[in-house]
Amino acid sequence: MSDEHVNTRIVLKSRPNGLPAIADFAVETAAIPQPGPGEALVEVMWLSVDGFMIARLRVEENYTAGVAIGDVMQAYGIGRVTASNRIDRAIGDIVFGAFGMQQWALDQGSPVGRVLDPAMGPPQSALGILGISGWSAYFGLLDIGQPKAGETVVVSAGTGAVGALVGQIAKLHGCRTIALVGSEKKVRQAIDLYGYDAAIGRHDSDFDAQLKCAAPQGIDVYFDNVGGGHLEAALNAARPYARFAICGMISMYNAEAPVPGPANMALIIGKNLRLEGFIVSNHWDMMGDFLKELGAWHAQGQLKWRQTVREGIASAPDAFIGLFTGANMGKMLVKLA
């Protein structure tokens, strides 16, 4: 039961060994924080759960600081400013920021935070199509993948928050598109909703044969969200000089050491392949260009976007874990206020 006079939040109770479990998190209450100089108080309305958050639970090397035991679990969110000691935040502003899994947060002016333009659509789109998902799809496909009309683009987790947009942007560029997905329902969604030319279920025993059949001339661009066996299959099916945009490797995030990699990496040499990974949040400076172009496609109704919504702060751990079982159809979000 939520209480509007306290801050209900999700803290890390124990470090997961492999796939996280609900028991690794605890629901706690604390006093609502008071904004000091240069801070604003935000009532969090929406939370995003993202695959990269798994890395913040590990003790080993991280590209940003991890979550300590007892700390609030990290997450991006959208909220409404209810009190402000900042000149760039007014009461009533709807803002994006790294607020964590909690009902109330302080906006302390981190470089990623921004006030949202209400004309850009529902606020939660800033956690999906007009946020990190859309931006990863746009940057990874266009900057790294360099797709050309007539080329074949393969997308793993092809109906996910990032993948569904990659497939549609590639289509807008005149490419033939193929999705790799986790269920028959997602195969249908890939073709009927997102306009893929073909979709292949990752659990099918003839996965590799289906990929060869769907891309008889081979793959020109592979957008990877999954890694492991998907990456190995894509390396086998790649045409000479194909480009691989490595966005995520979700199949490997919870694997126990030693984590097996693709066995055919030597093909990178013989086929003259280019593989490039990226962390989209290293490119905040390009946010303006992204919002302009992808925002225009979105406003013109050229891109389909779906979300799976869990209700209430207590559901956040389950929503997060659901990413690793494919429970989401589109962007996984948690609705709070």
Ligand X SMILES: NC(=O)c1ccc[n+]([C@@H]2O[C@H](COP(=O)([O-])OP(=O)(O)OC[C@H]3O[C@@H](n4cnc5c(N)ncnc54)[C@H](OP(=O)(O)O)[C@@H]3O)[C@@H](O)[C@H]2O)c1
- The answer to whether residue 157 forms part of the interface with ligand X (CB under 6 A) is yes
Segment 97-126, which members bind ligand X (CB under 6 A)?
none
Closest CB to ligand X among 225 and 315? 225
Q: Site for ligand X (CB under 6 A): which residue of 81, 127, 155, 280?
A: 280
Q: How far apart are CA 96 and CA 77, in angstroms?
A: 6
Q: Contact 89/81 with Cβ under 8 angstroms?
A: yes
Q: Where are the beta strands (DSSP E) in 49-119?
A: 77-84, 94-97, 104-107, 114-115
- The answer to whether residue 170 forms part of the interface with ligand X (CB under 6 A) is no
- The answer to whether residue 262 forms part of the interface with ligand X (CB under 6 A) is no
Question: Taking Cα atoms as reference points, which of 229, 220, 223, 230 lies closest to residue 271?
Answer: 220
Question: Taking Cα atoms as reference points, which of 272, 196, 200 lies closest to residue 230?
Answer: 200
Candidates 33-41, 144-152, 310-318, 319-327: pick the segment binding ligand X (CB under 6 A).
319-327
CB of 133 to ligand X, least distance (A): 5
Distances (CA, A) of 84 to 6, 9, 36, 74, 272: 19, 21, 9, 22, 54
Would you call the peptide bond into 122 cis, given omega within 30 degrees of 0 as the criterion?
no
- The answer to whether residue 278 forms part of the interface with ligand X (CB under 6 A) is yes
Total Cβ atoms within 10 A of residue 300: 8
Candidates 36-44, 66-74, 110-118, 272-280: pick the segment binding ligand X (CB under 6 A).
272-280
CB of 53 to ligand X, least distance (A): 8
CB of 47 to ligand X, least distance (A): 13
Question: Taking Cα atoms as reference points, which of 174, 182, 242, 178 lies closest to residue 211?
Answer: 178
Q: How far apart are CA 89 and CA 109, in angstroms?
A: 10
- The answer to whether residue 57 forms part of the interface with ligand X (CB under 6 A) is no
CB of 225 to ligand X, least distance (A): 4
Q: How far apart are CA 189 and CA 304, in angstroms?
A: 11
- The answer to whether residue 232 forms part of the interface with ligand X (CB under 6 A) is no
CB of 281 to ligand X, least distance (A): 6
Q: How far apart are CA 53 and CA 104, in angstroms?
A: 20
Closest CB to ligand X among 7 and 315? 315
Closest CB to ligand X among 39 and 50? 50
Interface size with ligand X, residues (CB under 6 A): 30
Question: Taking Cα atoms as reference points, which of 222, 160, 170 lies closest to residue 196?
Answer: 170
Q: Site for ligand X (CB under 6 A): which residue of 12, 181, 200, 294?
A: 181
Q: Site for ligand X (CB under 6 A): which residue of 6, 26, 30, 52?
A: 52
- The answer to whether residue 144 forms part of the interface with ligand X (CB under 6 A) is no
Q: Site for ligand X (CB under 6 A): which residue of 28, 121, 324, 335?
A: 324
- The answer to whether residue 134 forms part of the interface with ligand X (CB under 6 A) is no
- The answer to whether residue 136 forms part of the interface with ligand X (CB under 6 A) is yes
- The answer to whether residue 51 forms part of the interface with ligand X (CB under 6 A) is yes
Phi–psi pair at 27, nearest 5 degrees: -95, 125
Q: How far apart are CA 55 and CA 244, in angstroms?
A: 22
Q: Which residues bind ligand X (CB under 6 A)?
A: 50-52, 132-133, 136, 157, 159-163, 181-183, 186, 202, 225-226, 247-248, 250-251, 278-280, 323-324, 326, 328
